[in-house]
């Protein structure tokens, strides 16, 4: 292969831009710390999740896909970061959903959402 061909291949090769931070952690932080999003979107979903867990019903992580898509849309509109894709790829969507499920399930089981008396 000629150097010219190698350079053309590199120029035409689609590449993902590195953001320089963990998008999963950032979107999770956004969902928990953006007051309006938390109050209108996140908390109602977690309240429903708590009801299902307390009733012994199984909830799959993909149940949070709609919430995560809304969060990403709000995040993207609020912060103009070069390199953010228009939508989350499937792998990142699953990663965030799994992280929400894991962390919030632990919080529910540890009584973090129980009513204070």
Q: What angle do CA 108, 50, 31 make, to 5 degrees?
A: 80
64 and 100 Cβ atoms separated by less than 8 Å:
yes
Three-state SS for 63? Answer: helix
Query: Which residues in 92-115 are b (16+ Cβ under 10 Å) and which e?
Result: bbebbbebbbeebeeebeeeebee
User: What is this structure's pTM?
Assistant: 0.79
Tens of pLDDT, residue by residue, the chain (117 residues): 556 665 554 444 444 456 677 899 999 999 999 999 999 999 999 999 999 999 999 999 999 999 999 999 999 999 888 888 889 999 999 999 999 999 999 999 888 877 765
């Amino acid at each position: 292969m000629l150097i010219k061909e190698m350079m053309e291949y590199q120029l035409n090769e689609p590449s993902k831009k590195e953001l320089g931070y963990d998008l999963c952690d950032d979107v999770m932080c956004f969902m928990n710390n953006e007051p309006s999003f938390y109050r209108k979107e996140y908390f109602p979903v977690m309240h429903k999740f708590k009801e299902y867990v307390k009733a012994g019903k199984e909830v799959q992580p993909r149940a949070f896909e709609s919430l995560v898509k809304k969060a990403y849309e709000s995040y993207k509109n609020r912060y103009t970061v070069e390199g953010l894709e228009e939508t989350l790829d499937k792998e990142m969507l699953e990663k965030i959903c799994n992280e929400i499920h894991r962390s919030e399930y632990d919080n529910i089981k540890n009584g973090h959402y129980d009513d204070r008396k």
